[in-house]
Amino acid sequence: MILWLYGRTNRKADFRIHTNRRRVHVRPHASEPLFTALRRTRPTLVNVVPPGTAGLVPDLCPRHGTPVLVAHGET
């Protein structure tokens, strides 16, 4: 399950973790991001918190305009 979520992310040349907004929805919750898999026939992966994501929050990449995960407080 975790590999599936991370397989939907990508590191571009700016070294930020870009998420594929067509396949994964990421929203902030407390101090960790919640992932929801999109395009599923049944909502099987909803509000999943992968290990190692504490302190990350979703944001927009200033260079690409796509969703990214950044450390809390980093812009």
pLDDT digits (tens, 9 = 90+) for 13-63: 677 778 888 888 888 888 888 888 887 777 677 888 888 888 888 899 888
> Residue 75's pLDDT band (boundaries 50, 70, 90)?
low
Predicted local distance difference test score (pLDDT) of residue 11: 58
H or E stretch covering 36 = strand 32-37
What does the domain layout of the chain look like in residue ranges?
Answer: 2-71
Closest C-alpha among 54, 61, 46 to residue 9:
61
Evaluate if pTM is beyond 0.75: no
Closest C-alpha among 71, 74, 69 to residue 11:
69
- What's the maximum distance between 2 C-alpha atoms anywhere in the chain? 36
Predicted local distance difference test score (pLDDT) of residue 4: 47
Predicted local distance difference test score (pLDDT) of residue 18: 80
C-alpha atoms less than 13 angstroms from C-alpha of 52 in its C-beta half-sphere: 4
